Amino acid sequence: MATIKDVARLAGVGLGTASRVVSGKGAVSPATLEKVKKAIEELGFRPSHAARSLLSGTSQMIGVYIPVLSGTFYTPILQIIDTELRAAG
């Protein structure tokens, strides 16, 4: 699995520049943007949710305790939770 360091190396840019392209935050020249995007595509890079969680201090995850995962009682509840959380982003 490719890392942001691999993307930066292949694109010939610094780690911070590659990170700005991935996050969409910060200024990057159009030419550099294209180089980094090309490297991302070539490597099949996908940002790590775990790495972002470490940096931001939040995981954007919740836990749901289900005492017994059998039968049909909890399935509709889990579907509603999933739907509402996805709608909220």
* pLDDT tens for each residue of 13-27: 999 999 999 988 889
Grouping H, G, I as helix, E, B as strand and the rest as coil, residue 48 is coil
Phi, psi of 19 (to 5 degrees): -65, -40
26: domain CATH number? Answer: 1.10.260.40
* pLDDT tens for each residue of 28-65: 999 999 999 999 999 999 988 777 777 777 777 888 88
Residue range 7-14: average pLDDT? 97
Provide the domain limits for residue 53: 4-88
Phi, psi of 44 (to 5 degrees): 65, 35
pTM: 0.61
Q: Which long-range contacts (CB under 8 A, 24 or more apart) does 15-24 make?
A: 22/47
The count of domains in the chain is 1
